[in-house]
Amino acid sequence: MKKIVVADDSNLIRMKLKKHLMDEFEVVEAINGRDALVKIKVEQPDIVLSDLLMPEMDGFELLRRIQLDELNVPVVILTADIQVETNQKCTDLGAYRVLNKPPNRDELLLTLNEALSANTNA
């Protein structure tokens, strides 16, 4: 089973995402970007699903650190921010895709599986 780190400062959102994902992924929860970065290094997940706005370390900084530390893991960002500039900044920082919150379960699973396939083929 593939492993995913789910980073969101909202316990409720993490619980909902875990419910969507637990049939297909081993879910490792993180409460912010800093926690996610540690768990990425320790758990070595296949993929990361991260909120954009979180305390201590946001999704932008998490994306920067993943690139800086050369961690080869695809990242899908979740955000309520629908601005084109935000989406572009995330993809410029290495995000595979940006999805709007709350994500549709089918779209979420499709996107995560596409990201995994793209990363395998790289």
Local structure of residue 9 (DSSP, 8 states): S
φ/ψ (deg, to 5) at 73: -140, 130
What homologous superfamily does CATH list for 2-121? Response regulator (3.40.50.2300)
Radius of gyration of the chain (CA): 13
Question: How do residues 2-45 score in pLDDT, each as one tens digit?
Answer: 999 999 999 999 999 999 999 999 999 999 999 999 999 999 99
Question: How do residues 88-118 score in pLDDT, each as one tens digit?
Answer: 999 999 999 999 998 999 999 999 999 999 9
What is the residue extent of each domain of the chain?
A: 2-121
User: With contact defined as beta carbons under 8 Å apart, do 26 and 39 qualify?
Assistant: no
Q: Rounded CA gap, 63 and 65, in Å?
A: 6
- Can you give the pTM of this predicted structure? 0.95
